[in-house]
Amino acid sequence: WDLPFLAFLVEVLRCLDLSKHGNSVLEIMSRYLQSECRERHLLALRGLVVLSKDPVLARRMCSLSRRLVELLGDADGYAISMTLSVLTNMLENEYIVISSTTAPKLAEALLPLFDNDDSHVQLLSIDLFFKVMDLVVDEGIKPLKRIVSQSLLPLLFHCHDE
């Protein structure tokens, strides 16, 4: 019964008072994000997209950042776009600072997405890449120099295409 429950929860999530139930729902979504079942995994991502719009819950999602970066390597464009949306929503929170260890991993995971077949994924990944570059802390600049250098040519091509 957990799959129908999760589907129902995701559908009514926008109607819930997240100030009361947000932590519990975030815990449920975090658990299902680790699931091997593709349907549970995608439903958890859909729920996290909604939850990540709340600044308080977005801050609490920082513990999921490693798993979210791993999900950027998924073959499913829908899963990638939801993951990019969650990460973007998290980084729009003014209280979240990207660490010098997370920023290079995230930037490296975004590079292959510039050439994704889905143009929506391309735009989301480029937008997130620029947000990462803007938010990186001073000590994280050196590890990012190589990644930024690798990204310049693909970004130039994409800007020219648009």
User: Each residue of 68-96: pLDDT tens digit?
Assistant: 888 888 878 889 999 999 999 988 876 66
Per-residue model confidence as pLDDT tens digits over 40-69: 889 999 999 999 988 888 888 888 888 888
> Average per-residue pLDDT in the chain?
80
**For 81, how many CA atoms within 13 A lie in the half-sphere containing its CB?**
11
What domain range includes position 10? Answer: 1-77
To the nearest 10°, report the CA torsion of 57, 79, 148, 62.
20
For residue 139, what pLDDT band results from cuts at 50, 70 and 90? Answer: very low
Asked whether residue 62 falls in the same domain as residue 3, the answer is yes
Does the residue 140 lie in any domain?
A: yes
Check: pTM over 0.75? Answer yes or no. Answer: yes
Does the residue 41 lie in any domain?
A: yes
- Residue 50: DSSP 8-state: H
Q: What is the mean pLDDT of residues 27-50?
A: 89
Asked whether residue 16 falls in the same domain as residue 62, the answer is yes
In this prediction, what percent of the chain has a pLDDT beyond 90? 11
Residue 160 or residue 39, greater confidence: 39
The domain boundary residue, chosen from 77, 109, 133:
77
Per-residue pLDDT at 80: 92
Per-residue pLDDT at 150: 59
- Please give the structure tokens belonging to residue 98: 């990207």
